[in-house]
Structure 1
């Protein structure tokens, strides 16, 4: 039992050291106040969840990247004043991700149905045309061979 606790304590110490090194490298570069991001995460996560330091830092960076991407899109407008409608349009991919994924699934299912129809049509065309071509070709070839043999006799 003591060995298990000792190993667990060593692992926890190693994790704390790794996280401390990670904090030192990235603390200055975070776009938002870390405490605010962590508070918001804890508000939206189950009470039994623990958040590793690296997750806190990466979430902060991710939110900063989202902000940069939205601002890039806002910069594409030719106007000097940013209106609410522009913001709504620029944040659409982030606020409507579920609807976008549903639409993607609907389109993929429709494409699969089209693909199945095309395959069925292709099989029908091959089957009907092949049978006619083969029968006509065989009759023509047989007639040619027979007429050639008649000529030779």
Structure 2
């Protein structure tokens, strides 16, 4: 299984190296092709940092939404959706005798 895994990694790196239009491979090309495999720990740390930042943004958005609902109420009455009550009365047909 380890040999299969290493073979797949090597196959992916070679495919990426074949995308270059040059006949020789420079060290920078090899480094770029192997980056996902040699820096997996750094990539995972960056992923975790981004996810934590997104959670913080989500919490800020929720707090702002609650503030808007509290502070921007126009009346201290139960809010009704006037459009739905208006459209419901239009849907009722008058009874014919």
- TM-score, L = length of structure 2: 0.74
- RMSD across aligned positions (CA): 1.9
> C-alpha separation between the residues in 1 aligned to 2:3 and 2:61?
48
Report the counterpart of residue 28 of structure 1 in structure 2: none
Q: CA deviation at 1:80?
A: 1.7
Higher normalized helix content (fraction of residues): 1
Runs of 4+ in 1 over 6 A off after TM superposition: none
> C-alpha separation between the residues in 2 aligned to 1:135 and 1:119?
22
> C-alpha separation between the residues in 1 aligned to 2:21 and 2:12?
17
1:17-67 CA deviation, whole Å, 9 max, x = no partner?
xxxxxxxxxxxxxxxxxxxxxxxxxxxxxxxxxxxxxxxxx1111100000
Report the counterpart of residue 62 of structure 2 in structure 1: 119
Max Rg structure: 1
Report the counterpart of residue 10 of structure 2 in structure 1: 67
> C-alpha separation between the residues in 2 aligned to 1:81 and 1:90?
14
> C-alpha separation between the residues in 2 aligned to 1:59 and 1:70?
17
Are 2:48 and 1:105 aligned?
Answer: yes
Residue among 15, 24, 48 paired with 1:81: 24
**Local SS of the residue matching 1:77:** coil
How many residues in Structure 1 have an aligned counterpart in Structure 2? 79
Superposed, 1:1-150 pairs within 5 Å as 58-129=1-72, 131-132=73-74, 134-135=75-76
Gap regions ≥5 residues in structure 1: 1-57, 139-153
